Structure 1
């Protein structure tokens, strides 16, 4: 019998007779999902579309779920629904039905409450509205569940959390609070925010969301590493020369420079997204698939990372950054960074982990590139062809492929580079890869914290980067200007070459979907 993963690592039986695949997630009462900042960009572009996709796939049964939007903007229920309608896209599988009816059924679940974030009045109205729906769906004494999603700036987390604690805590079941990054700007501000939330909620109630942990390829990392025999003996300093974790965008701030300039590329991307990926690449095998056992191993990796060396940092700023009217004049905030991290333990001693992130570069992609050492005693003299690499492409065109040297077809004995390729669009044509927010919201409802950031994990991450960030803020590191559409400052390539990365020239991986078009 086929199984469905419910997020707690124990399979459940497939649903029968049209039964929703999510019934086990909703045993024991209805679920109320409350989205704070409901009128903002994050909510309408990410949170509500993710909830809609879960709904249309049967993971949020309308008979057991009610969704509430809360914000300061004066709107009616229908006003919020009108704002969201254009962002809810039915899938191809919905086209056999009336697509508009699927959207309408979801929007009918949404109730809007208008109120301030720092006064009780709005929260009391919200509490009354939640209770009314809970009694309607679970009766006056049945169990209930409440998920509060803070699609808000971190500056208002403390005020909103205090009001939730005071006015809206669930008395008949669990309460869970999802908070979005950034979690502070350095170690001190992060610890202050964590302390404020920790006084109000237990660690089991707090879900710090990093959407990179919900990406399909990132979620495949542990399966690839620990379920395949041929990776186990190779995944160490004896065989791997270096690891690159790369995030590239081919566009700049595009009017969002005010927000970005406050944080910069290291806080925005490297300290959270890429560092989370590094932990999964480098961690030891956990005792079990329990979320706490996995997060324990991630923390061990973070605590083994050595202080960052000055000569293993290159910062850059693209030449059009200051032309963005939302960017402060004369800003020195980096839009590009290449940083080498080194893990001081038995498995990784001597292996550089190269973290690279930037805006306005030559391409858009995020990937993990594991480069193996040269073949000893290479009788084919193939080093000029490039090294073996295992690449996991996170976005776009999700894929995993192995670069290796093979014989060029023909009568001559000449070698060339090729790949063993698992491209998701080709291999899984009938499967829709879920968005990260869909997966993480469902995990929250199921109570699976594996893909969320624990407090000690957050602290360890900030301890690595805070000294460097403070020095950058004081102007002790200079951002090098690089042209838009380039690879970034040439000094970054020089750094990666110096620490051991060997770039393959003349070889480009092309996703099979693009090959077909060509």
Structure 2
């Protein structure tokens, strides 16, 4: 197997918020790794833009430190890091004023390269940046902007944000980035479904009993307390990350692997989601770590709000009202300070119509598990005879394709989600980016759920740190004679 690296055309990438945490941890190290592989052409430039006053040389030094710290220990051959740093420039910019914009305009003028602008800043600055890019002549028809979530905090603000960006850029120029969609396994969802005759005929309510989507984190809110307490698990995770995973699992086959064809099918799934009944929702807040409340406090202490009713855990039972999935429940679960860090999608198939082995053989189901993290891979549970004499005893064994093992060749490289998505921006491929109407449809489904529990005055249920969440989430599954898969 040979890993093919296809170079992109020369480009200029401007990172607004270029001194921020995302730029240091993900964007700059990711670009450097693409440079090492030869995918990023030597003519390309990376331009940091932020309020801090510093020279290009000082910014290059900052970038070098970030690459050494977050680049995965890779510095390529001697001289490659220096060659990458030579492609880096810096401009001090006032996002809401005029300072630095003429300098950036001169730097970008007449290069003939692809121009991409990464808005690694608060959403409140998106409109200011877009307006100035246009007024200084940098928002031409070929320019592209990348915007990070949150894409609003409800339907009204999402529409306002979309309308603001639409004043200066067309939809085909706007790349709403969700790093979950850049994960290798997430993209493999489509390959597994639509590239294998084995699965697609079974991918419907006739054969699938239910589907579970779990994104669990062992960490608490950390330094994001102020932001998180205004968002909660629904806004921070379900409305975007889990919603996108659900869409990829549930959507109809697109006519072709084309950005709008794929996103059209995802949009249909969101619009087919039924309202969620209150008894199909469980919200929770984590408690302090026993014996270590000082270092690992409870949620309310961590966010500095002793009366907070924001959820750090959310479990839901959802239904999709269409022919393919009528009657098949989708269980979504996400939480902080859980027992194990894990992101997994499990397709649980129905029992065989009739067991020829009798009751003593027990109940056995095929489960297709798609692990997004930490050990990316796909496992299919298959029922076989237990080895040895003594009759027909059945056991379940996994057919396991852990990517780190199956694809651990010197010529196959694991690519970080941000690396892949940034290169897609340069290529002009929007397949893995959310469209404006998709974002608004997600909020249109989410808002009534949030408004409902606020109107009912519900308080999240407490759960132990490093557990599987509130007992009520287990009870919700037991009522359906099902159980959460262990994360």
TM-score by length of 2: 0.92
2 CA distance for matches of 1:115 and 1:488?
A: 45
1 CA distance for matches of 2:274 and 2:6?
A: 45
The answer for the alignment partner of 2:59 in structure 1 is 80
Alignment of 1:354-365 (within 5 A): 354-365=331-342
The answer for the alignment partner of 1:513 in structure 2 is none
2 CA distance for matches of 1:503 and 1:191?
A: 36
**SS state at 1:88 partner:** helix
The answer for the alignment partner of 1:127 in structure 2 is 105
Q: 1:152 aligns with which of 117, 121, 139?
A: 121
1 CA distance for matches of 2:483 and 2:385?
A: 21
The answer for the alignment partner of 2:380 in structure 1 is 402
Deviation track 1:456-497 (CA, whole Å, cap 9, x = no partner) reads: 111111111011123345563320000001000011011123
Q: 1:69 aligns with which of 48, 51, 54?
A: 48
The answer for the alignment partner of 2:295 in structure 1 is none
Say whether the 8 Å CA contact 1:251–1:359 is kept in structure 2. Answer: yes
Say whether the 8 Å CA contact 1:471–1:477 is kept in structure 2. Answer: no
The answer for the alignment partner of 2:285 in structure 1 is 317
The answer for the alignment partner of 1:478 in structure 2 is 459
The answer for the alignment partner of 2:292 in structure 1 is none
Give the C-alpha shift of residue 93 in structure 1. 7.7
Give the C-alpha shift of residue 404 in structure 1. 2.2
Say whether the 8 Å CA contact 1:241–1:500 is kept in structure 2. Answer: no
Say whether the 8 Å CA contact 1:36–1:71 is kept in structure 2. Answer: yes
1 CA distance for matches of 2:82 and 2:231?
A: 39
Aligned residues: 472
The answer for the alignment partner of 1:273 in structure 2 is 241
Q: 1:392 aligns with which of 370, 380, 385?
A: 370
Say whether the 8 Å CA contact 1:271–1:465 is kept in structure 2. Answer: yes
The answer for the alignment partner of 1:104 in structure 2 is 82
Deviation track 1:377-436 (CA, whole Å, cap 9, x = no partner) reads: 223337745421000001111110111222111112322221111111111112222111
Say whether the 8 Å CA contact 1:295–1:450 is kept in structure 2. Answer: yes
Say whether the 8 Å CA contact 2:3–2:413 is kept in structure 1. Answer: no
Say whether the 8 Å CA contact 1:21–1:59 is kept in structure 2. Answer: yes
Say whether the 8 Å CA contact 1:181–1:208 is kept in structure 2. Answer: yes
- Residue 36 in structure 1 maps to residue 16 in structure 2: yes
Say whether the 8 Å CA contact 1:385–1:405 is kept in structure 2. Answer: no
1:3–1:471 distance in 2 versus 1, CA, 3 Å: same
1:502–1:379 distance in 2 versus 1, CA, 3 Å: farther
1:159–1:94 distance in 2 versus 1, CA, 3 Å: closer
1:233–1:383 distance in 2 versus 1, CA, 3 Å: farther
Say whether the 8 Å CA contact 2:13–2:118 is kept in structure 1. Answer: yes
2 CA distance for matches of 1:499 and 1:84?
A: 52
Greater relative CO (CA pairs within 8 A, separation 6+):
2
Give the C-alpha shift of residue 115 in structure 1. 2.0
Give the C-alpha shift of residue 168 in structure 1. 4.4
**SS state at 1:256 partner:** helix
**SS state at 1:356 partner:** strand
**SS state at 2:220 partner:** coil
The answer for the alignment partner of 1:192 in structure 2 is 160
Give the C-alpha shift of residue 327 in structure 1. 3.2
The answer for the alignment partner of 1:11 in structure 2 is none
Q: 2:405 aligns with which of 405, 411, 426?
A: 426
Say whether the 8 Å CA contact 1:382–1:415 is kept in structure 2. Answer: no
2 CA distance for matches of 1:327 and 1:388?
A: 45
More deviation, 436-445/158-167: 158-167
1:240–1:416 distance in 2 versus 1, CA, 3 Å: same
**SS state at 2:91 partner:** strand
The answer for the alignment partner of 1:166 in structure 2 is 135
Give the C-alpha shift of residue 300 in structure 1. 0.9
1:247–1:226 distance in 2 versus 1, CA, 3 Å: same
**SS state at 2:150 partner:** coil
- Residue 461 in structure 1 maps to residue 442 in structure 2: yes
**SS state at 2:152 partner:** coil
2 CA distance for matches of 1:54 and 1:370?
A: 34
Give the C-alpha shift of residue 328 in structure 1. 2.6
1 CA distance for matches of 2:422 and 2:82?
A: 21
RMSD: 2.1
Q: Which runs of 5+ in 2 are unaligned?
A: 289-297
**SS state at 1:466 partner:** helix
The answer for the alignment partner of 1:331 in structure 2 is 308
1:185–1:92 distance in 2 versus 1, CA, 3 Å: closer
